[in-house]
Chains A and B, each alone.
Chain A
Amino acid sequence: MKKNWVNLFVALLLFIPLRFLQVSIDYSRKLEDLETGLLLLPGQAAGSLVLSGFKGLAADLLWLNVEEYWHSGQHYKMLPLLEAVAWLQPTYVTVWAVGGWHMAYNIYVQVGQDESKISEAFQKQQETWSAGDRAKYEVLVEAVRENKAILQQLDKKGKTDELVKDYLSRLEKYQARIAALEEKEADKKLVETVKTLLEIPRNKIFWYRQGVQFLKKGITYNPDKYDLYFELGWTYYHKGMDYPNAVKYLEKAIKHPHPDYVDDVLAHAYEKNGQIDRAIAQWEYLITRAPSFRSIAERMIHDLKTKGKATP
């Protein structure tokens, strides 16, 4: 029986090294980024999985919901889920990449899909106006015209900070004038229609910026991988036509192990940013790095040297 007490004593004594080991493990988990935050998720199934330590599985269930919403066109419903998945597994770069893409590309398009329908309805209504109405609602006609121009410029000229500032100030000018018209006896439905139209470029800018912010947030969790630098660089390059920022992030992407197409996009970004010499150097580098790019790179170098322009 005396011996038996030794068992208990040794067992209790072993909790001391166990405690030190746990402190050391906690430190390592912090150091190696193995910790995850607690999140109370919507939905019982996902919630209980998190509580039982199956975070990856919970993230997968939410991801399947994201897929479902994506295919059914319910983009807005995807957003809280994307945030939740990103919170559960912040080092899962696909979530950040896909989330940023959905915001800057898909939702961006979705918020403007009714624009032509509303504009057409407005134009039809215009045809029924009397001379008095025409004079009274001149500001609305101008606002719709300006709105259309801004929408076109958003996609053709781009979304650099300066341009966005210009678009917004132009929109604001009309908003003030429409507010003044509202105070008079104006057709409320008509004014609301125009206001809805004016919201479209604002929303587009908002979602483009949201996408960019989401990708930037993803980079803070994954600073040592090329993926999100590339996604952000590409979004600036392709969607925003914001070439200085595109170059900035693509240059960061190539500092980490990356596939050849990243160098390809960077060469295009240099050219669009007006850095022709660097673009040529980048194409030359690509020939040495990836021989499969030789024919296109040589054509690009030739065009840049002779015409100063290669990318269509």
Chain B
Amino acid sequence: MKKIWVIAQNTFHESLRKRTLYIVLVFGLVVIGASKFFSFLTAQEELKMIQDVSFSAIEFFGALIAIFGALGAISSEIEKRTIYTLLSKPITRYHFVIGKFVGQILILLVNFLLLCLFFVGLLLFKKSVPNIEIFKALFLIFVELLLISSITLALATFTSDAFNIIFSFFLYIVGHLTSYGRQLIERTENIILKGLGDMLYTIVPNYENFAIRDKVVVGVPVSWQYVGKTVSYGLIYIVIAILIGIYCFQKREV
């Protein structure tokens, strides 16, 4: 456990030195702040716009931080050859992958909290006290970001950075479209196609599960049961991604 924590801390400190993450964070804050310019709308419309823009910015810039953060976590260690020093110590590859992921969680948490604080501050400035539904939506966005990060990290154990970045973004878009794919599968009569579609529907991460923000901003309540199920889905998928990452990294020759 201590070994994992040391790697996590190291990953976190290393990320703090990267300028890319700061730039992304600043962009996120600027976009959230810019939503204040909708003051020409009615108060209710303005509040909805602020929430929509902020949720989207937190998710989008959070996804960028998750992808770029996880992207270089393993490859940079290989490029700089620091991995040889690390793995020659009593640190297994299993510790290394999990440690890297825990480090990513810390980076995401810090960035996410900063964006959220700014968003909540903006709401309070507009004299709107955020309700519990807003926090449910934010929490699910955070779990989604962890999932994105874990998948990118798993891919980083066996692919190049270029492939990883393209695939992660592709997966991010496809992951939001799987529910539409399901509607198509339901209409298919061909058993083979249906089976194949079902399999894909299970394998591809369904990011749409986490997207409750569009409903929350218009006042649709979301049950704790739904939040619980979605968090469980996210956690199971994260475990799958990390296990696959460990498997691939064990097989990789460094």
Contacts and interface: CB of A to CB of B under 8 A. Distances in A.
A29 B51 CA distance: 21
A89 B214 contact: yes
Contact of B222 (A32, A35, A60, A88): A32
Contacts of A8: 243-244, 247
A77 B215 CA distance: 26
A135 interface: no
A34 B56 CA distance: 17
A92 B246 contact: no
B179 A56 contact: no
B226 A14 contact: no
B236 A14 contact: yes
Contacts of B250: 1, 4, 7
B203 A15 contact: yes
24 contacts: A7-B247, A8-B244, A8-B247, A10-B243, A11-B247, A15-B202, A18-B236, A21-B229, A22-B201, A22-B209, A25-B233, A26-B182, A29-B179, A34-B222, A52-B173, A53-B208, A54-B56, A56-B52, A56-B56, A56-B214, A59-B52, A60-B53, A63-B49, A67-B41
A180 interface: no
B48 A57 contact: no
B48 A22 contact: no
Dominant SS among interface residues on chain A = helix
B133 to A, nearest CB: 12
A51 B99 CA distance: 34
Given A21-B233, A91-B220, A92-B48, A14 B173 contact: no
Interface residues of A, number: 43
Contacts of A117: none
B55 A56 contact: yes
B215 A91 contact: yes
B23 interface: no
Interface of B: 40-41, 44-45, 48-49, 51-53, 55-56, 59-60, 172-173, 176-177, 179-180, 182-183, 201-203, 206-209, 211-215, 217-223, 225-226, 229-230, 232-233, 236-237, 239-240, 243-244, 246-247, 250-251
A22 B182 CA distance: 11
Contacts of A25: 206, 209, 226, 229-230, 233
A102 interface: no
A15 B52 CA distance: 33
Contact of B53 (A32, A57, A93): A57
B179 A35 contact: yes
A18 B49 contact: no
A252 B219 CA distance: 20
A117 B254 CA distance: 84
Chain A to chain B: the 6 pairs with minimum beta-carbon distance, closest first? A53-B176, A11-B243, A56-B52, A56-B214, A92-B218, A7-B247
Interface in A45-82: 51-57, 59-60, 63, 67
Contact of B202 (A10, A19, A38): A19
Given A63-B45, A92-B48, A51 B219 contact: no
A7 B247 CA distance: 6
B223 A53 contact: no
B226 A28 contact: yes
A54 B208 CA distance: 10
B195 to A, nearest CB: 13
Interface in A126-181: none
B226 A32 contact: yes
Given A11-B244, A15-B240, A56-B56, 19 more contacts: A1-B250, A4-B251, A5-B247, A11-B247, A14-B236, A14-B240, A19-B202, A21-B229, A21-B236, A24-B229, A28-B225, A34-B215, A36-B214, A52-B173, A54-B59, A55-B214, A60-B49, A67-B41, A91-B215
